[in-house]
Amino acid sequence: MSPALLSPVVAGRTVAVRVPATSANLGPGFDTLGLALSLYDELVVQALPEGELRIDVTGPGSDAVPRDESHLVVRAMAYAFEAVGRRMPGIALTSTIVIPHGRGLGSSGAAVVAGLLAARGLLAGDVEFGPSLLLRLATELEGHPDNVAPALFGGLTIAWMDEHGPQHKKLLVHRGVAPLVFVPEFVMPTSVARGLAPLQVPREDAVFNVSRSALLIAALTQSPELLLAATDDKLHQNYRAQAMPDTDSLVRALRAAGFAAVLSGSGPSVLVLADGPGRRLEAARLVASVTDTPWEPLMLAVDFKGGTVRDYTEDASQTSTRAS
Ligand code: HSE
């Protein structure tokens, strides 16, 4: 094989990647709005000689994760290398699952973003992966941009598609907004939940959501007291409720008590956008009192940074020197 066809990444080069969980839709902003949250998957990716693949995954749900090239992080890396015309080296991937899988907290979007950022880190100095290329590749892999945009860029993101592909605008969230997520033990595959959202809706429902999602930008950035009205939705949550009755009951109980509760992404977790940390505690107490279903409450902050990658080559070599 001619050297020009070898991967440009030297074996041993190592990067560390960190990607936040995300909650998409936020009620009315179906496939459009997303929020990055302070819960992170972390991975270390080391380049190996071409053709080698080692995957070491731990954490909840790791038994179900493939250990071959169908692993989503590896697929995203291969997609990125192919997109920029470079050969991928062999890969040793070490990760711990923190973002729970199948719960509506953007775990697949985080895996896609992690793979793209790992490729960006390994190719640093050779190829420039700008924000619009990253968002385009991530959206092509994920199918919709509302999780991958905040996973890449942090904060509150508005994502939309135009003739040039996916676009985004990042906004800073008002400091009075305190996110709280209730995570159940059961899962809801996104593909199933997407099949329940209708392809056509009455015009008054579309107008309802246009008004609420416009209001939601004001509520999240300036006026948290409007969050309850601003998180109402008629495009997807009612249609999905039949598949997640416990989630639906919890959203209704919280909203009846004045909390801005919504389905997180396509579920089954519930996101509460509380207007202050005190209200968040009240919501957690209410949930403990109204349901026997175990819901794990996660008091989180908005992540403002998004996914990061750093060169870890030195640290990795010191770790292996110490270990030997
Ligand atoms: N907007 C997507 C949906 C998010 O609701 O199907 C999936 O995480």
Give the model confidence (pLDDT) of 122-161 as tens digits: 999 999 999 999 999 999 999 999 999 999 999 999 999 9
Check whether residue 10 and residue 130 sit in a common domain.
Answer: yes
Residue 217 CA to residue 69 CA, distance in Å, equals 40
How many whole angstroms from 312 Cα to the centroid of ligand 1? 33
* Residue range 96-113: mean pLDDT, rounded: 97
Q: How confident is the model at residue 206 (pLDDT cuts 50, 70, 90)?
A: very high
- pLDDT, residue 315, reads 81
How many structural domains comprise the chain? 2
Residue owning tokens 């999602």: 213
Our answer on whether the CB atom of 265 is closer than 6 Å to any ligand 1 atom is yes
Check whether residue 147 and residue 214 sit in a common domain.
Answer: no
Our answer on whether the CB atom of 144 is closer than 6 Å to any ligand 1 atom is yes
Residue 124 CA to residue 117 CA, distance in Å, equals 10
Angle at which helices 245-256 and 277-290 cross, to 10°: 130
pLDDT digit string, tens, across residues 43-96: 999 999 999 999 999 999 999 999 999 999 999 999 999 999 999 999 999 999
How many whole angstroms from 265 Cα to the centroid of ligand 1? 5
pLDDT digit string, tens, across residues 273-323: 999 889 999 999 999 998 877 999 999 999 999 999 999 998 877 766 555
Q: Which residues contact 49 (CB under 8 A, 6 or more apart)?
A: 11, 89, 90
Residue 307 CA to residue 293 CA, distance in Å, equals 33
Check whether residue 113 and residue 243 sit in a common domain.
Answer: no
Q: How many residues does the chain have?
A: 324
pLDDT exceeds 70 at position 97: yes
Check whether residue 11 and residue 55 sit in a common domain.
Answer: yes
| Cα-based angle 251, 255, 256 (whole degrees, multiple of 5) | 115
- pLDDT, residue 320, reads 62
CATH number at residue 40: 3.30.230.10
Our answer on whether the CB atom of 234 is closer than 6 Å to any ligand 1 atom is no
Check whether residue 58 and residue 126 sit in a common domain.
Answer: yes
Residue owning tokens 């030195």: 314
Residue 253 CA to residue 257 CA, distance in Å, equals 6
Our answer on whether the CB atom of 101 is closer than 6 Å to any ligand 1 atom is no
Q: Which residues contact 45 (CB under 8 A, 6 or more apart)?
A: 14, 15, 16, 17, 73, 77, 91, 92, 93, 94, 118, 121, 122
How many whole angstroms from 53 Cα to the centroid of ligand 1? 31
pTM for the structure as a whole: 0.95
Check whether residue 147 and residue 187 sit in a common domain.
Answer: no
pLDDT exceeds 70 at position 3: no
How many whole angstroms from 236 Cα to the centroid of ligand 1? 9
Check whether residue 162 and residue 277 sit in a common domain.
Answer: no
Of ligand 1's listed atoms, the one at least distance from the Cα of 266 is: 5
At residue 135, the 3 state secondary structure works out as helix
Of ligand 1's listed atoms, the one at least distance from the Cα of 24 is: 4
CATH number at residue 295: 3.30.70.890
Could you tell me which of 41, 16, 25, 31 has the C-alpha nearest to residue 303? Answer: 41
Domain that holds residue 136: 3-171+304-323
Could you tell me which of 144, 99, 95, 138 has the C-alpha nearest to residue 119? Answer: 138
Ligand 1, pocket-test mutation among 22, 23, 25, most atoms within 8 A of CB: 25
Check whether residue 247 and residue 288 sit in a common domain.
Answer: yes
Check whether residue 100 and residue 212 sit in a common domain.
Answer: no
Residue 259 CA to residue 251 CA, distance in Å, equals 9
Check whether residue 189 and residue 235 sit in a common domain.
Answer: yes
pLDDT digit string, tens, across residues 232-281: 999 999 999 999 999 999 999 999 999 999 999 999 999 999 998 899 99
Check whether residue 131 and residue 263 sit in a common domain.
Answer: no
- pLDDT, residue 28, reads 98
Our answer on whether the CB atom of 194 is closer than 6 Å to any ligand 1 atom is yes
Q: Quick one: 153 exposed, middle or buried, by C-beta within 10 A (0-12, 13-18, 19+)?
A: buried
* Residue range 211-233: mean pLDDT, rounded: 98
Cα distances from 114 to residues 49, 106, 207, 238, in angstroms, run 21, 12, 36, 32
Could you tell me which of 129, 128, 135, 165 has the C-alpha nearest to residue 150? Answer: 135
Our answer on whether the CB atom of 31 is closer than 6 Å to any ligand 1 atom is yes
- pLDDT, residue 2, reads 46
Of ligand 1's listed atoms, the one at least distance from the Cα of 146 is: 1
Question: Cis link prior to 20 (omega < 30° from 0)?
Answer: no
- pLDDT, residue 322, reads 57
Of ligand 1's listed atoms, the one at least distance from the Cα of 193 is: 6
- pLDDT, residue 1, reads 44
Check whether residue 108 and residue 237 sit in a common domain.
Answer: no
What stretch of H or E contains 108? Answer: helix 107-122
Residue 184 CA to residue 250 CA, distance in Å, equals 11
Q: For ligand 1, atom 3, which residue shows the shortest CA distance?
A: 266
